[in-house]
């Protein structure tokens, strides 16, 4: 069998192409924007530590489950559940994935739009030399409170996403991811080195990397696991859908390993840029600053304005951020698009356009919730949508995927699928334990904790 065996649906050009596309889906705002925010909100290093364990033991486990289900069925989530357990309620899990995909896209797209706006700010030299934390905050607040600008930027993201998705699998996503993901990587390492050499970087690093174990609690655990799912694009059928375009020759285990590794590395580096930079500002006191949605957009302009050649790096950084973001919005739109194409026989183009419009409408309150409309601002629409779709939607999605694989499809069948392209699965026993017991039990406990807290 070769890579083009199912070319009517589309297929990846190679294993490396798949890893880059999947890493492209994984690496995005979750790493650069949400991860530092979660670290800030959940006690710093203790979150970092817990999140890494969550990636290794739970994120990887469920990602491999998605890969196996996706490649086995070669379908979108609804189709996949239906193919393995036809005529059962399992397909509702697929519908949950489709709905959550659209839900996340609708507010993720707004923030992705901010990246568009900041790209133009960088080009026009809006980050003049030596911005203080407060200047940077004011620029951000004014920007996000302007409805016109925010809607234009949000639309730019959705139009680009719809355009590329309507072109199919190989043409757009693959080419972009292969060239631009490594470039993002090099740049982020460079910026991390710069941040580490800022005067006073140590204070930030201590907050970020020196865990205070007494701060560990159920909330930290919950957000660490939810963040692992979000950052890895796991729990929502996105990896399932991407894997549905894979060939039987590819090694699912090592692919999942690489995607988890790259994604975590980028998140850690993003924190290494953000925290030292943040704490070089004397106004910031560890434990007292508020990590809100603007963290990244306030810190980056600040570090850029303080470094030699900051203009050029600013333009490069926001260009690459845009690309990272786009490769992620693509995968969010791909899930419902694949559903309409496979199940309802829509054309890709029609599906992408209709879904893009839907995401725009659902995203309106989020777009206006950062100063645009007082009521939405007061409700904190963005944080609430984040909670509903990411913290709850994806966590429940991940639970259903694990339970489905372990108890409905069966670990034996999944292992047979995994064995194609990988004859020796070294961590087999561990994975079986994790997918059958650890992942479902931990997720159920988390859901109980969270229902009690909120
Ligand atoms: N993982 C992406 C990020 O870190 C976000 C994302 C893209 C996503 N596609 C997804 C999250 C699908 C869940 C499901 O930015």
DSSP string, 80-112: HHHHHSTTSTTHHHHHHHHHHHHHHHHHHHHHH
3 has pLDDT over 60 = no
244-285 pLDDT, tens digit per residue, is 999 898 999 999 999 999 999 999 998 998 888 777 766 666
286 has pLDDT over 90 = no
4 has pLDDT over 50 = no
Average pLDDT on 142-158 reads: 94
pLDDT tier for residue 167 given thresholds of 50, 70 and 90: confident
What is the overall mean pLDDT for the chain?
A: 88
Question: To test ligand 1's pocket by mutation, which of 21, 28, 325 has the most ligand atoms within 8 angstroms of CB?
Answer: 28
Instruction: Estimate the crossing angle of helix 77-84 against helix 91-123, to 10 degrees.
Output: 160
Question: To test ligand 1's pocket by mutation, which of 51, 181, 332 has the most ligand atoms within 8 angstroms of CB?
Answer: 332
Tokens representing 119 are 């790209």
Tokens representing 103 are 């839900």
**DSSP secondary structure code for residue 424 in this structure:** -
Architecture of domain 3-453: Up-down Bundle (1.20)
18 has pLDDT over 50 = yes
172 has pLDDT over 70 = no
- State whether residue 371 is helix, strand or coil: coil
pLDDT of residue 213: 85
Shortest-distance atom of ligand 1 to CA 394: 13
> Is the separation of the CB atoms in 81 and 91 below 8 Å?
yes
**Total-model pTM:** 0.90
pLDDT of residue 171: 67
**Alpha carbon of 36 to those of 30, 43, 384: distances in Å?**
9, 11, 18
Distance of CA 167 to the CA centre of its chain: 22
pLDDT of residue 290: 55
pLDDT of residue 100: 95
Pocket of ligand 1 contains residue 241 by CB under 6 Å: no
Pocket of ligand 1 contains residue 30 by CB under 6 Å: yes
**DSSP secondary structure code for residue 145 in this structure:** T
pLDDT of residue 287: 56
Helix H or strand E segment including 385: helix 381-385
354 has pLDDT over 80 = yes
351 has pLDDT over 90 = yes
405-425 pLDDT, tens digit per residue, is 999 999 999 999 999 988 788
Pocket of ligand 1 contains residue 23 by CB under 6 Å: no
Q: What would you report as the CA-atom Rg of the chain, rounded to the nearest whole angstrom?
A: 21
Average pLDDT on 103-110 reads: 94
The stretches of 124-174 forming alpha helices (DSSP H) are 133-144, 147-166
5 has pLDDT over 50 = no
> Is the separation of the CB atoms in 22 and 71 below 8 Å?
no
> Using CA atoms, how far apart are residues 300 and 77, in angstroms rounded to an integer?
37
> Using CA atoms, how far apart are residues 79 and 81, in angstroms rounded to an integer?
6
* Protein residue whose Cα sits closest to atom 2 of ligand 1: 26
């Amino acid at each position: 069998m070769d890579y083009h065996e199912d070319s009517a649906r589309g297929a990846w050009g190679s294993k490396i192409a798949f890893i880059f596309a999947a890493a492209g889906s994984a690496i995005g705002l979750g790493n650069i924007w949400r991860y530092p925010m979660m670290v800030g909100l959940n006690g710093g290093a203790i979150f970092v530590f817990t999140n890494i364990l969550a990636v290794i033991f739970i994120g990887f486990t469920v990602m491999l489950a998605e890969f196996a289900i996706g490649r086995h069925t070669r379908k979108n989530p609804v189709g996949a559940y239906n193919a393995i357990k036809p005529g059962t309620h399992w397909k509702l899990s697929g519908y949950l994935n489709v709905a959550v995909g659209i839900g996340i896209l609708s507010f993720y797209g707004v923030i992705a739009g901010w990246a568009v706006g900041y790209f133009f700010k960088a080009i026009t030299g809006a980050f003049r030399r030596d911005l203080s934390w407060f200047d940077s905050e004011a620029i951000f607040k004014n920007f996000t409170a302007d409805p016109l600008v925010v809607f234009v930027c949000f639309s730019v993201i959705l139009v680009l996403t719809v355009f590329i998705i309507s072109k199919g699998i190989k043409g757009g996503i693959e080419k972009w991811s292969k060239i631009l993901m490594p470039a993002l990587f090099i740049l982020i390492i460079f910026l991390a080195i710069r941040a580490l050499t800022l005067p006073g970087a140590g204070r930030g690093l201590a907050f970020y990397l020196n865990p205070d174990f007494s701060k560990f609690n159920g909330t930290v655990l919950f957000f660490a696991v939810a963040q692992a799912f979000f950052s890895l694009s796991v729990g929502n059928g996105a990896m399932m859908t991407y894997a549905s375009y894979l060939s039987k020759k590819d090694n699912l285990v090592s692919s999942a390993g690489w995607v988890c590794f790259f994604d975590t590395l980028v998140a850690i580096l993003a924190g290494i840029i953000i925290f030292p930079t943040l704490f070089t500002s004397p106004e910031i006191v560890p434990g007292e600053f508020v990590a809100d949605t603007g963290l990244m957009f306030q810190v980056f302009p600040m570090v850029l304005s303080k470094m030699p050649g900051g203009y050029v790096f600013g333009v490069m950084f926001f260009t690459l951020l845009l690309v990272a973001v786009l490769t992620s919005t693509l995968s969010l739109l791909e899930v419902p698009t694949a559903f309409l194409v496979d199940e309802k026989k829509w054309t890709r183009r029609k599906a992408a356009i209709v879904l893009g419009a839907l995401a725009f409408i659902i995203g309106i309150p989020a777009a206006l919730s950062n100063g645009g409309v007082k009521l939405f601002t007061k409700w904190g629409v963005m944080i609430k949508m984040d909670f509903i779709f990411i913290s709850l939607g994806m966590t429940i999605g991940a639970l259903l995927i694990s339970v489905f694989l372990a108890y409905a499809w069966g670990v034996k069948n999944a292992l047979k699928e995994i064995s194609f392209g990988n004859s020796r699965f070294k961590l087999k026993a561990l994975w079986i334990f994790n997918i059958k017991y650890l992942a479902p039990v931990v997720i159920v406990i988390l859901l109980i904790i969270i229902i009690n807290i909120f």
